[in-house]
Chain A
Amino acid sequence: MNSELHPGEAADALAEIQQRQQQVIDRATVPAWYWWVVGALMVVLAVGVDTRTPLAIGITVPVFVVGLLAATGVAVRGQLLDARLREGLLDGRGVVAILAFVALIVGISLAIAFGLRAAGVSYPATIGCGVGGLTMGLFGPVLNRLLRRIMLGNRAGVM
């Protein structure tokens, strides 16, 4: 071991290591706008479902598919081009958090949509997906922060 290194310098080196690893994790994290865009696209698709005309479905389905692919491509660009996250940073807790988030959004959207439909309300899927999309926009960044915390906890050099 290097006996000439001052403990303060060792602490500075550890801070540098943490900062650089955070840079990679932050680059790979999807931006907050992504959740709002996906939420809006859900509403677009639901309008097509509620309207039930071939023209509306013909427009909304391609908008949903192309929009989702484009938004996802832009959001994960950092992972595709700059740096791919090391395996093991996102452990089982991260996977559970993502699955729980998806279940929450789908559950809220479907429960509201079927409830409103049973009550005879117009545009039930649109309203259900609107609430689901709003939830996604508001809580997507919360999921991001949770995943970031998990990944930072799994990086090298955590004491």
Chain B
Amino acid sequence: MARARFDELIHAPTRLSIVSLLAASQWADFQFIRDSVGLSDSALSKQLATLEQAGYVEIGRGFVGKRPRTSARLTPAGRAAFEQHVAALQEMVVRSGSTILPK
């Protein structure tokens, strides 16, 4: 299990959703993230830029046929920070008792 370390940058509600999606993926398409999390293009771009500046996310740009396509993936540093953040959350929950564990 990863060492527990609470990460303020990841914990912001929208970023937590984005990073959680990316944590289960090798990469995820911009539109898929946008629709899954329910953000506008500009709001998602802003959050991804914040994560990219922190070194947590890599943005890839390419083409599928003639259509431009943007995807995002967690960097090893981002994946490690996410796992440490999850461990920190779990530690808080465990310390307070098991009755509030998520289903």
Q: Which residues of A contact B (CB under 8 A)?
A: 1-2, 5, 7-8, 10-21, 23-25, 27, 81-87, 89, 155-157, 159
Question: Bound state CA distance, A15 and B93, in angstroms?
Answer: 12
Question: Bound state CA distance, A20 and B20, in angstroms?
Answer: 6
A12 neighbours in B (Cβ, 8 Å): 102
| Contact in complex: A155, B24 (CB < 8 Å) | yes
B64 neighbours in A (Cβ, 8 Å): 81
| Contact in complex: B88, A20 (CB < 8 Å) | no
**Given A7-B93, A13-B11 in contact, is the A2-B23 Cβ separation under 8 Å?**
no
B88 neighbours in A (Cβ, 8 Å): 1-2
B70 interface residue per 8 A CB criterion = no
A82 neighbours in B (Cβ, 8 Å): 28-29, 31-32
| Contact in complex: B95, A20 (CB < 8 Å) | no
**Closest chain A residue to B90 by CB distance?**
A159
| Contact in complex: B93, A83 (CB < 8 Å) | no
Question: Bound state CA distance, A10 and B90, in angstroms?
Answer: 7
Question: Bound state CA distance, A14 and B16, in angstroms?
Answer: 10
**Given A1-B4, A12-B102 in contact, is the A23-B36 Cβ separation under 8 Å?**
yes
